[in-house]
Amino acid sequence: MAPKTKKAALADMLENLSKSDFDKFCSHLLDRREEPRVRRRQVEGKNFLQIADVLVSTFTEAGAVKVAVELLGCANCGQEVEELVTVIAGLDSKPGTRDNQHFVDKYKLQLTDRVSHMDPILDRLLDRGVLQREAYDTIRALPTSQKKMRELYCGCLKAGTASKDVFYQILLENEKFLIDDLNTKH
Protein backbone atom coordinates (compact mmCIF):
# COMPACT_ATOMS: atom_id res chain seq x y z
CA MET A 1 0.00 0.00 0.00
CA ALA A 2 1.31 3.44 -0.94
CA PRO A 3 2.18 5.82 1.90
CA LYS A 4 -0.31 8.60 2.64
CA THR A 5 2.15 11.19 3.93
CA LYS A 6 5.67 12.35 3.16
CA LYS A 7 6.73 11.21 6.62
CA ALA A 8 5.41 7.69 5.89
CA ALA A 9 7.23 7.72 2.52
CA LEU A 10 10.47 8.70 4.29
CA ALA A 11 9.99 5.92 6.88
CA ASP A 12 9.36 3.36 4.11
CA MET A 13 12.46 4.49 2.23
CA LEU A 14 14.62 4.31 5.38
CA GLU A 15 13.24 0.87 6.24
CA ASN A 16 14.18 -0.41 2.78
CA LEU A 17 17.82 0.72 3.03
CA SER A 18 20.42 -1.90 3.81
CA LYS A 19 22.02 -1.63 7.26
CA SER A 20 25.16 -0.21 5.65
CA ASP A 21 23.25 2.40 3.63
CA PHE A 22 21.11 3.32 6.65
CA ASP A 23 24.29 3.87 8.69
CA LYS A 24 25.76 6.03 5.88
CA PHE A 25 22.54 8.03 5.69
CA CYS A 26 22.62 8.69 9.45
CA SER A 27 26.31 9.58 9.32
CA HIS A 28 25.71 12.10 6.53
CA LEU A 29 22.75 13.50 8.50
CA LEU A 30 25.06 14.19 11.44
CA ASP A 31 27.75 15.66 9.17
CA ARG A 32 25.42 18.24 7.58
CA ARG A 33 26.77 21.73 8.14
CA GLU A 34 23.63 23.65 7.15
CA GLU A 35 21.16 24.81 9.78
CA PRO A 36 19.14 23.40 11.35
CA ARG A 37 21.56 20.70 12.48
CA VAL A 38 20.73 17.32 13.94
CA ARG A 39 22.46 16.30 17.16
CA ARG A 40 24.14 12.95 17.64
CA ARG A 41 21.78 11.96 20.49
CA GLN A 42 18.83 12.38 18.12
CA VAL A 43 20.26 9.77 15.73
CA GLU A 44 22.45 7.22 17.52
CA GLY A 45 20.71 3.95 18.23
CA LYS A 46 17.48 5.05 16.56
CA ASN A 47 15.45 2.98 14.12
CA PHE A 48 14.02 4.08 10.76
CA LEU A 49 10.74 5.34 12.26
CA GLN A 50 12.56 7.47 14.81
CA ILE A 51 14.89 8.88 12.14
CA ALA A 52 11.86 9.79 9.98
CA ASP A 53 10.42 11.59 13.03
CA VAL A 54 13.71 13.46 13.53
CA LEU A 55 13.79 14.50 9.86
CA VAL A 56 10.22 15.84 9.88
CA SER A 57 10.44 17.53 13.28
CA THR A 58 13.75 19.19 12.36
CA PHE A 59 13.10 20.17 8.72
CA THR A 60 9.27 20.02 8.23
CA GLU A 61 7.79 17.45 5.84
CA ALA A 62 8.79 19.28 2.64
CA GLY A 63 12.24 20.12 3.97
CA ALA A 64 12.77 16.56 5.23
CA VAL A 65 12.24 15.19 1.72
CA LYS A 66 14.82 17.62 0.29
CA VAL A 67 17.33 16.72 2.99
CA ALA A 68 16.69 12.99 2.51
CA VAL A 69 17.26 13.28 -1.25
CA GLU A 70 20.49 15.18 -0.59
CA LEU A 71 21.72 12.62 1.97
CA LEU A 72 20.78 9.64 -0.20
CA GLY A 73 22.82 11.21 -2.99
CA CYS A 74 25.79 11.58 -0.63
CA ALA A 75 25.40 7.92 0.36
CA ASN A 76 25.37 6.85 -3.32
CA CYS A 77 21.78 5.57 -3.10
CA GLY A 78 20.62 6.76 -6.54
CA GLN A 79 17.89 4.13 -6.90
CA GLU A 80 16.40 5.11 -3.54
CA VAL A 81 16.46 8.79 -4.58
CA GLU A 82 14.48 7.99 -7.73
CA GLU A 83 11.98 5.85 -5.80
CA LEU A 84 11.48 8.50 -3.10
CA VAL A 85 11.05 11.29 -5.66
CA THR A 86 8.51 9.18 -7.55
CA VAL A 87 6.52 8.39 -4.39
CA ILE A 88 6.58 12.02 -3.23
CA ALA A 89 5.56 13.25 -6.69
CA GLY A 90 2.63 10.82 -6.52
CA LEU A 91 1.62 12.24 -3.15
CA ASP A 92 1.95 15.81 -4.45
CA SER A 93 -0.18 15.05 -7.50
CA LYS A 94 -3.09 13.55 -5.58
CA PRO A 95 -6.36 15.55 -5.54
CA GLY A 96 -6.39 18.14 -2.82
CA THR A 97 -2.69 18.93 -3.00
CA ARG A 98 -1.28 22.16 -4.28
CA ASP A 99 -2.76 22.94 -7.68
CA ASN A 100 -2.73 19.27 -8.66
CA GLN A 101 0.37 19.93 -10.80
CA HIS A 102 3.75 18.28 -10.98
CA PHE A 103 6.59 20.55 -9.84
CA VAL A 104 8.05 20.53 -13.37
CA ASP A 105 4.76 21.79 -14.81
CA LYS A 106 3.99 24.24 -12.04
CA TYR A 107 7.34 26.02 -12.40
CA LYS A 108 7.72 25.68 -16.17
CA LEU A 109 8.30 29.40 -16.78
CA GLN A 110 10.75 29.81 -13.90
CA LEU A 111 12.67 26.67 -14.88
CA THR A 112 12.83 27.78 -18.51
CA ASP A 113 14.17 31.19 -17.49
CA ARG A 114 16.52 30.16 -14.71
CA VAL A 115 18.07 26.72 -15.43
CA SER A 116 21.52 27.58 -16.67
CA HIS A 117 23.64 24.43 -17.01
CA MET A 118 21.73 22.34 -19.51
CA ASP A 119 24.48 20.04 -20.83
CA PRO A 120 24.86 17.92 -17.67
CA ILE A 121 21.06 17.73 -17.38
CA LEU A 122 20.75 16.56 -20.98
CA ASP A 123 23.53 14.01 -20.42
CA ARG A 124 21.66 12.52 -17.46
CA LEU A 125 18.32 12.51 -19.31
CA LEU A 126 19.99 10.57 -22.12
CA ASP A 127 21.72 8.23 -19.67
CA ARG A 128 18.45 7.46 -17.85
CA GLY A 129 16.53 6.80 -21.06
CA VAL A 130 14.26 9.86 -20.93
CA LEU A 131 15.85 11.33 -24.06
CA GLN A 132 16.72 9.43 -27.21
CA ARG A 133 20.03 10.14 -28.99
CA GLU A 134 18.42 12.06 -31.89
CA ALA A 135 16.46 14.37 -29.56
CA TYR A 136 19.58 14.78 -27.39
CA ASP A 137 21.66 15.89 -30.40
CA THR A 138 18.92 18.27 -31.60
CA ILE A 139 18.52 19.91 -28.19
CA ARG A 140 22.27 20.19 -27.57
CA ALA A 141 22.61 22.08 -30.86
CA LEU A 142 20.22 24.82 -29.73
CA PRO A 143 22.00 28.09 -28.84
CA THR A 144 20.48 29.00 -25.46
CA SER A 145 19.43 27.25 -22.27
CA GLN A 146 15.93 28.70 -22.66
CA LYS A 147 15.50 27.17 -26.13
CA LYS A 148 16.81 23.84 -24.82
CA MET A 149 14.31 23.90 -21.96
CA ARG A 150 11.43 24.77 -24.29
CA GLU A 151 12.37 21.86 -26.53
CA LEU A 152 12.40 19.50 -23.52
CA TYR A 153 8.92 20.65 -22.57
CA CYS A 154 7.70 20.10 -26.15
CA GLY A 155 9.26 16.65 -26.31
CA CYS A 156 10.18 14.14 -23.65
CA LEU A 157 8.48 15.95 -20.76
CA LYS A 158 5.14 15.44 -22.49
CA ALA A 159 5.62 11.68 -22.02
CA GLY A 160 4.09 11.78 -18.55
CA THR A 161 4.82 11.71 -14.86
CA ALA A 162 7.68 9.21 -15.00
CA SER A 163 9.80 11.42 -17.27
CA LYS A 164 8.96 14.47 -15.14
CA ASP A 165 9.96 12.61 -11.97
CA VAL A 166 13.36 11.74 -13.43
CA PHE A 167 13.80 15.31 -14.69
CA TYR A 168 12.93 16.66 -11.23
CA GLN A 169 15.49 14.38 -9.59
CA ILE A 170 18.16 15.50 -12.10
CA LEU A 171 17.26 19.13 -11.36
CA LEU A 172 17.73 18.43 -7.64
CA GLU A 173 21.20 17.06 -8.39
CA ASN A 174 22.26 19.86 -10.76
CA GLU A 175 20.25 22.95 -9.81
CA LYS A 176 19.73 22.38 -6.08
CA PHE A 177 19.67 26.04 -5.09
CA LEU A 178 17.17 26.94 -7.81
CA ILE A 179 14.84 24.09 -6.80
CA ASP A 180 15.16 25.06 -3.12
CA ASP A 181 14.32 28.65 -4.02
CA LEU A 182 11.22 27.64 -6.01
CA ASN A 183 10.08 25.27 -3.26
CA THR A 184 10.30 27.98 -0.61
CA LYS A 185 8.24 30.45 -2.65
CA HIS A 186 5.01 28.43 -2.74
pLDDT tens per residue across all 186 residues of the chain: 566 788 888 999 999 999 999 999 999 999 988 888 899 999 999 999 999 999 988 888 878 888 888 888 888 887 887 888 888 877 765 433 345 678 888 899 999 999 988 999 999 999 988 899 999 999 999 999 999 999 998 888 887 788 888 999 999 999 989 988 888 775
Q: What is each CA distance from 14 to 25, 173, 180, 185, in whole angstroms?
A: 9, 20, 22, 28
Measured distance CA(163)–CA(12) in Å, rounded: 23
Element (H, E) at 126: helix 118-127
Tell the CATH topology of 6-91. Death Domain, Fas (1.10.533)
Q: Are 56 and 5 in contact (CB under 8 A)?
A: no
Largest interatomic CA distance in the chain: 53
Query: Dihedral of CA 30/124/100/96: which sign?
Result: negative
Q: Where are the domains of the chain?
A: 6-91, 103-184
Tell the CATH topology of 103-184. Death Domain, Fas (1.10.533)
Measured CA angle at 30 (ends 26, 31), to 5 deg: 115
Measured distance CA(156)–CA(71) in Å, rounded: 28
- Asked whether the domain spanning 103-184 has the same topology as the one spanning 6-91, the reply is yes
Measured distance CA(112)–CA(180) in Å, rounded: 16
Element (H, E) at 27: helix 19-31
